[in-house]
């Protein structure tokens, strides 16, 4: 299952979110695709005030301050 992770450099919340995703990757069959929003105008416009953004199957699972337990529940639900 692919997880799209929208991020940018110099973002403390993004670093925290990436660590959470890496933890979850050890438990679940997810593949993290990291996208720096500063490399694409559309992403910057869409997610600039929201990052980090975690998306799966076109649905935003969480953004901003990422909560490990809530994200894990959503991932488990999607994998059923």
Asked if the model's pLDDT at residue 72 lies above 90, the reply is: yes
pLDDT digits (tens, 9 = 90+) for 23-52: 999 999 999 999 999 999 999 999 999 999
Give first-to-last CA distance, the chain, whole Å: 11
Burial of 32 (0-12, 13-18, 19+ CB in 10 A): middle
CA 69, CA 56: separation in Å to the nearest integer? Answer: 16
**Nearest of 35, 34, 14, 24 to residue 79 by alpha carbon:** 24
Q: How confident is the model at residue 21 (pLDDT cuts 50, 70, 90)?
A: very high
Asked if the model's pLDDT at residue 16 lies above 90, the reply is: yes
């Amino acid at each position: 299952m692919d997880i799209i992770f929208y991020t940018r450099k110099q973002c403390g919340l993004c670093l925290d979110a990436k660590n959470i995703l890496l933890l979850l990757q050890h438990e679940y069959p997810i593949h993290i695709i990291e996208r720096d929003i500063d490399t694409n105008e559309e992403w910057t416009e869409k997610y600039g005030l929201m990052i980090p953004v975690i998306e799966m199957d076109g649905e935003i699972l969480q953004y901003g301050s990422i909560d490990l337990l809530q994200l894990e529940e959503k991932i488990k639900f999607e994998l059923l």
